[in-house]
């Protein structure tokens, strides 16, 4: 008989991912992983001191899997660059519901000092900068809009994952676009108000000192 394949961390994490995607993270335990890999639980605890240690590393693994999902969405779907993140996030909640709940809704996550998936997305300076550049706006203003957009999209995604909101991609794109348009119009109104004040001060100043 050929020798049994040595169980490695990557195999354990991949098994945990498969189980989570199929049955939810609450189904992930040493016996379930062992059954998935067709081995005993011993190799699991050779690689990890405890299930908490495994779960901590699994969150990193799952988040990396999500980021690959976003990149694949970017290549596959024809959407405007500044819509890639919110639309891929909603798509992930719809297509990978159990994994979304684990990464972004905090279901069964281990206690940790470092931020989970939700905190990482909020604090993602790189994504905020890419978003600002795609819109062609100042990065400072873009980060503020990105945060508001994230909270809006996250609310939609949570409702989608809970089965409370059912939209097709075109409807999601319209809602996100309308949300962004409201911010653009707000900026335009502020700019127009500032211009009117500037122009309004000019004639008054010249009228006071001009020849009658």
Tens digits of per-residue pLDDT, 37-61? 999 999 999 999 999 999 989 999 9
Range of the domain at 96: 66-202
SS3 162: coil
Instruction: Provide the pLDDT confidence category of residue 97 given band limits of 50, 70 and 90.
Output: very high
Q: What's the pLDDT score for residue 132?
A: 86
Can you tell me the distance from the alpha carbon of 64 to that of 72, in angstroms, rounded to the nearest whole number? Answer: 12
Per-residue pLDDT tens over the stretch 8-30: 999 999 999 999 999 999 999 99
Q: Quick one: what percent of the chain has pLDDT higher than 90?
A: 55
Same domain flag for 124 and 160: yes
Residue 57 within any structural domain of the chain: no
What totals of helices (H) and strands (E) does the chain contain, helices first?
A: 10, 0
Same domain flag for 86 and 36: no
Same domain flag for 37 and 80: no
Can you tell me the distance from the alpha carbon of 79 to that of 172, in angstroms, rounded to the nearest whole number? Answer: 12
Can you tell me the distance from the alpha carbon of 71 to that of 90, in angstroms, rounded to the nearest whole number? Answer: 14
The arithmetic mean of pLDDT across residues 134-152, rounded, is 87
Can you tell me the distance from the alpha carbon of 130 to that of 136, in angstroms, rounded to the nearest whole number? Answer: 10
Same domain flag for 122 and 172: yes
Q: How many structural domains compose the chain? A: 2
Same domain flag for 90 and 144: yes
Question: Hunting for tokens 């348009």 — which residue is that?
Answer: 181
Per-residue pLDDT tens over the stretch 65-94: 999 999 999 999 989 988 999 999 999 999
Residue 82 within any structural domain of the chain: yes
């Amino acid at each position: 008989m050929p020798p049994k394949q040595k169980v490695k961390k990557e195999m354990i994490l991949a098994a945990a991912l498969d189980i989570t995607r199929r049955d939810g993270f609450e189904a992930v335990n040493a016996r379930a992983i062992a059954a998935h890999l067709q081995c005993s639980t011993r190799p699991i605890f050779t690689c990890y001191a405890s299930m908490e240690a495994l779960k901590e590393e699994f969150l990193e693994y799952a988040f990396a899997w999500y980021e690959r999902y976003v990149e694949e969405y970017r290549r596959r779907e024809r959407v405007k660059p500044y819509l890639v993140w919110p639309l891929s996030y909603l798509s992930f909640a719809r297509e990978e519901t159990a994994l979304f709940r684990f990464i972004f809704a905090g279901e069964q996550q281990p206690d940790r000092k470092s931020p989970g998936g939700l905190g990482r997305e909020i604090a993602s300076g790189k994504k905020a900068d890419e978003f600002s550049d795609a819109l062609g706006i100042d990065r400072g203003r873009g980060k503020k809009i990105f945060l508001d957009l994230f909270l809006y999209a996250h609310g939609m995604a949570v409702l989608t994952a809970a089965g409370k909101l059912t939209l097709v991609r075109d409807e999601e794109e319209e809602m996100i676009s309308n949300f962004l348009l409201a911010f653009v119009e707000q900026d335009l109104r502020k700019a127009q108000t500032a211009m009117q004040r500037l122009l309004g001060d000019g004639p008054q100043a010249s009228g006071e000192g001009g020849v009658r």
